[in-house]
Amino acid sequence: MQIWIMIICFLIGILIIPLVRKFAFLINAVDEPRERHIHTKITPTLGGLAIFIAFTIGMLLLTVDKSGFLPVYIGALIIVTTGFIDDIIELSPRWKLVGQISAALCVVLWGQITIEFINIPFAGPLYFGVWAIPITIIWIVAIVNALNLIDGLDGLAGGIAIIALLTIAGMALLLQDIFVAPVAFMLIACIFAFLVYNFPPASIFMGDTGSLFLGYMIAVLSLMGFKNVTFISILVPLIILGVPLSDTFFAIIRRLKSRTPISMADRSHIHHRLMALGFSERQTVLLIYCMAILFSITGFVFSFSTTWGAVILLVLLAFCIEIIVEFIGLIGEQYRPILNILAKIRRRKKH
């Protein structure tokens, strides 16, 4: 598993993050407290740059066959550049999307990594044909933005990324994938180094440089590990990333419901709602970690279930998500259809 490379990546990250922090202050890549922010002091961003540098050095040292990784790395370079510019001058959502699609195109058109087909239970294989390219691009962009949107508390996005990557790496080991597993573990070591400085109270943020890069790598590694397989298997990465994807999905629903632009930021993400219920910042991060771990365990179980078992598990998972959404008010404090039904049933039993 080349554990020594993981150790080197961790040590490099530990050493260069203070330098990146000084560099961020020098070029004014800092995050100033705003109304919807949790932190109360000016904090440097660009922590993702340190993660990327440590990852790059690790890739140079990694001895597995890397012949097909160049398109993925160029895509990573594009998305890190996009995040870097955004951390300095705050790009518009349109230009951030251009950078994300450009990175995805490197993977899809140059790297030839696409979702060609899936096997749907009870129906057989569904081939995407010419739609394979746009579907894969949407897949990558969706996961990139999901991790980016949940990056709202110290240590949150980094911890979620580690949990997702650990699950992907574990499943890659079971599938005997000699490339995805070591790359995922190496990236985990880089993120751990960053979390030393980012866990509450943080002295540096990963910024869009980090959240876009990590979202991109999770999306691509999951594609490389689970492409062209069954419908059940292609759902596994979605389940693993259940927390950020659910948060993104319900943010879109919430904004459509209130007729506000989808790209408009608000204080109703899952971490905001948990803190509104009285949890501290550290407690909120740990609670979301627990949710992410449960999603990852479910993803593991899901991948080895029978078709009917997977369907039942998916229904139960959807029900649990709905209950959590209603309880914490992720769509709105008045949105409680199932909880209201359960409350009526309880009242009837009392009478």
**Opening angle at CA 58, ends 56 and 61, nearest 5:** 115
If you compute the radius of gyration of the chain from its CA atoms, what whole number of angstroms results?
20
In the 8-state DSSP scheme, what is residue 230? Answer: B
| Residue found under tokens 């597993």 | 181
21-47: buried (b, 16+ CB within 10 Å) or exposed (e) per residue? beebeeeebbbeeeeeeebeeebbbbb
Query: Strand 117-120 relative to strand 43-44: parallel, antiparallel, unpaired?
Result: unpaired
Grouping H, G, I as helix, E, B as strand and the rest as coil, residue 167 is: helix
CA distances from 252 to 122, 152, 192 (A): 31, 17, 31
**Annotated binding residue 148:** yes
The residue type at 281:
E
Q: Nearest to residue 331, comparing CAs of 248, 275, 265? A: 248
Contacts of range 6-11, beta carbons closer than 8 Å, 24 or more positions apart:
6/58, 6/185, 6/186, 6/188, 6/189, 7/189, 8/57, 8/58, 8/61, 9/54, 9/55, 9/57, 9/58, 9/186, 9/189, 9/190, 9/193, 10/54, 10/189, 10/190, 10/192, 10/193, 11/193
Q: Is 208 annotated as a binding residue?
A: yes
Distances from the Cα of 227 to the Cα of 173, 223, 231, angstroms: 15, 5, 10
Which H helix or E strand runs over 30? strand 30-31
Rounded to a whole number of angstroms, the distance between the first and last alpha carbons of the chain is 63
Instruction: Give binding residues for Mg(2+) as ranges.
Output: 148, 208
